Structure 1
Amino acid sequence: MTTDSTRSPLSPHRASYTQQFRAVGALLGAAIGDALGAPFEFKAGGLFSARFPEPVIGGVGEMIGGGGFGWAPGEFTDDTQMAMALAESLIRNDGLDLDDLWERFRAWAQSAKDVGIVTSIVLSRDSRHGAAEHGHEATNGRSASNGCVMRVAPVGIIGARLGSDSTIALAAEQARLTHFDPAAAVGAALVAELIRHIIVTGEFRGVAEAVLDRFAAEGHFDAAVVDGYRPFVAGSFDPLAPGLPGNGSVWTTVGQALWAVRTTSTFEQAMRTVIDLGGDTDTVAAVTGSIAGALHGVQRIPVRWTTYVHGYLRMPDGSQKEYRMQDLIDVARMLVGKETSRMSYVEPPVGPLKVHPDGVHAANLDGAARAPRDHAVVTLCMPEDRFLQHVNRRQIFIRDKENPANEDLLFVVRDAVEAIDAFLAEGREVVVHCHGGRSRTGLVLKAWYMSRHGASHDEAHAWLRGRWEHYETWTQSFWDFLEDEWTAHVAGKRA
């Protein structure tokens, strides 16, 4: 399970595409869980499925916003705001600088809509020294709350390149900054080390139990505090058992998150399952999302959620930083020691051109930006902020490179095709584009045509070649995917 090799630092130069996708999935997953759970915070269980008995493929999906603090659709809350403050500090200092992190947390708290009780008391102090203990005493010893674990995903991500021991130490120290109860440090370290291990190995089952064994055997934490987590990570854990602490506690938050990932097989199922537990839904879903996102990877997170997730963070200099999908991807990449994504030269606009009478158009990046606001836009590249005024849109993470640059083409192409069909069913014209309107645009348009008409790849190729002169087939992996995996998928759907 956990060997010396899996505990060692992972060199950024040796990080595979799969490992990078897991790291990105952990951060995006946390933010998405936070945003999805926010409307149902502190309400009864079952409300997510009652509101959305079936997946909402069109429109803005299940990103409805609202909740007690009036969040915008897709907006993440204090959980991810604190996580981003932690991430920015880790990147700037290449590790943990408690003084810097303290200032970032305090800057955030000055204008935050929502700050947890313990965290609010602690951050009201001028100095970090003794602040957590003050918060513990002011809440009558109830500082084992989940604020320390809701923000810890960046530690698990940077931990992939720092190694296991550093991950555990960093997670515990950032927890102790605001949460004095020793159980808080153990919970944060457990989740961070689990995320790190998943990013490096892809393993989940049995890992939490093994991590607790290490904590006790190697003396990282007091054995009695570690043992307090064992019922919550066990396979027999019942997330709604009578007598459990509320899921505002660190134990139940961790237990419910692990249970949701363990009892489901997709990121989407994990989100639906954990939000339906009710209570502190944004936080428990954020922790679940960080674990499930690492396990399934960014390309298996529904694009109707990655498209709309966003949020803001007040910085120490008083400025406000905005984060959207690409920003979160870049933060995760920097945490694992990679460069941020770079946009190549933006070509003169081409399109939109209607290529199918049902209302499907093709374009390049700046061509798509000319589309009327009532058109839906399906983006297959980095758009920056070009389409924020198009309410109905999808941004899909596909690399125009040969395998293994895309680990889950079937998932993302299926998501793109289903989005096109859903937008058409709503009576919208749909513009499909990538950076140059060539390779990725061709991939998705051909996949859609094959699905729509039960056509072969050869027929789809001939159709698009006759209607869109910018279509190119230079990525052999895309061609092979359509010939084999997508052809089988279409046949299975129509059987």
Structure 2
Amino acid sequence: MTARGRDGDDAGGTGRPPAGPAIAGALTAYACGDAFGLPWEGSAPGAAEPDRAIEIPARARWPRGGTSDDTALTLLVAEHLIACGGAGDPADLLRTLAGRAESIFGLGPSTVAAIRHFQRSGQLPAEGGRTNGAAMRALPAGWATPADAAELRRRWVVTLSSATHPSPDAQAAACVVAACASWAIEGVDGRALLAVALAEASALRKAGMNASLEELIRAIDQGAWTPPTTGVSLDPLETVGAVLHCVSATSTLESAMLTAVGLGGDTDTVAALVGGILARGRTSDQICAELTWNRHVLLPPPDSVRTLADGLAELRARPLPT
């Protein structure tokens, strides 16, 4: 696979939008997936019947169509990347996260533990964090790096993840979804993204980060992956498996999101990651035209989405370090 030119133009005459609008579309699709999955978080597999799911019913303390901590933290990471011109200092990211924690409802256990540890000691966590929170907010690092900049993207993802998720498995899962997000901005989709994920998993194994991701992705490619009978847990590898299953097994963004909520468990994170990856270089308007139920979603302000997307696109267009 060959990436587009790094100036953000539609270099190949493919009809895809430049990187800024494409990243805005991915952010929009991510938020839509988050809101779509949120009402069913913790549900049993099959509980979200399609006709009911597309109505996006209200849930507990969230308004109808609200997004979760997934979208809030993904936007926060995008802000951090732009402000630092890259991954920056993970302590700065955690400091910002700690300062906003009271305004973000539903933070995951690893993130909460990391914040409390940081507030007590001023240090990053040195162990633990084997949950899917690092993967959940890793897509901005993929959107901000050229598709062929694998080493740079991996370094950014590991740095950002270390703020709250020192677990090698959590970081490996984040690297895989970030790689898929980067290539998806180029229009790569479906089963081709499995090849992207497999290449990243192979590189991670060779770097000593994880030995089981390759086997997991090969099982998905061969149709041998079995969804958890109790729903998708917070396990990072299980989450990656669910996302790649949805991305590769369905033909449209909406059907992939329906598959995601149908798996049960951590439905908002799985559907959000599916959305952010399967946006496939489309603009926000194109995403909203496909997901007609987006009128129920409380999306982030369009100006904020465009500003963040343009900032990430500028990072993506920078010459690679030598």
TM-score grouping bracket, smaller chain normalisation: 0.7 to 0.9
Counterpart of 1:82 in structure 2 is 73
Q: Indicate conservation of the 8 Å contact 1:132/1:178, yes or no.
A: no
Change (3 A) 1:306 1:154: farther
Q: Give the 3 Å change call, closer, same or farther, for CA 241–280 of structure 1 in structure 2.
A: closer
The aligned counterpart of 1:222 is 209
Q: Which residue of 2 aligns with 1:256?
A: 242
What RMSD over aligned residues (CA atoms) do the two structures have, in Å?
2.9
From 46, 57, 67, give the equivalent of 1:64: 57
Greater fraction of residues in helix:
2
Q: Which residue of 2 aligns with 1:393?
A: none
Residue identity in the other structure for 1:327: S
Answer yes or no: is the 8 Å Cα contact 2:82–2:311 preserved in 1. Answer: yes
Report the TM-score when normalising by structure 1: 0.55
Give the counterpart letter for 2:152 in structure 1: S
1:10, 1:161 within 8 Å by CA — same for their partners in 2? no
Q: Deviation string for 1:165-193 (max 9, x for gaps)?
A: 21111112211221122011110011001
Q: Deviations over 1:238-271 (max 9, x none)?
A: 34256x9943111111111111111111111111
Q: State the match for 1:196 in structure 2.
A: 182
Q: Which runs of 5+ in 1 are unaligned?
A: 56-61, 137-142, 312-322, 339-495
- The question of 1:332 aligning with 2:309 is answered yes
Structure 2: give runs of 5+ residues left out of the alignment. Answer: 316-322
The one-character-per-residue Cα deviations of 1:81-134 (angstroms, maximum 9, x if unpaired) are: 11111111111111112232112211221332211112111111225634242x
Match of 2:202 in 1: 213
Q: Among residues 99, 104, 107, which one is paired with 1:107 in the alignment?
A: 99
264-273 vs 228-237, which deviates more?
228-237
Structure 2 residue 236 is matched with structure 1 residue 240: no
> Among 297, 301, 308, which residue is 1:309 paired with?
297
Choose between structure 1 and 2 for higher RCO, CA contacts under 8 A separated by at least 6 residues.
2
1:94 to 62, 80, 85: 85
Post-superposition Cα deviations, 1:56-93, rounded to whole Å, max 9, x if no partner, equal xxxxxx23332x4x211221101111111111111111
Aligned length: 303
Residue 123 of structure 2 aligns with which residue? 129
Partners of 1:245 and 1:278 lie apart in 2 by 4
CA contact (8 A) 1:232 1:254 kept: no
- Cα distance, 1:38 vs. partner? 0.8
Q: Is 12-21 or 250-259 further displaced after alignment? A: 12-21
In structure 2, the CA distance between the partners of 1:102 and 1:241, relative to structure 1 (3 Å rule), is closer
Q: Which amino acid aligns with 1:154?
A: P
Partner of 1:10: 6
Structure 1 CA distance for aligned equivalents of residues 181 and 133 of structure 2: 17
Partners of 1:201 and 1:50 lie apart in 2 by: 27
**Cα deviation code 1:139-197 (max 9, x no counterpart):** xxxx3211111111111111138933211111122112211220111100110011101
Give, as a single letter, the amino acid of the residue that structure 1 aligns with 2:125: A
User: Which string of whole-angstrom CA distances, capped at 9 and with x for unpartnered residues, describes residues 16-35 of structure 1?
Assistant: 62544432232111111111
Q: Distance in 2 between matches of 1:116 and 1:101?
A: 16
**TM-score normalised per structure 2:** 0.83
Q: Distance in 1 between matches of 2:263 and 2:168?
A: 26
Point out the structure with max Rg over C-alpha. 1
Decide which structure has greater strand share: 1
Name the amino acid aligned to 1:109: A
Distance 1:207 1:162, change over 3 A: closer
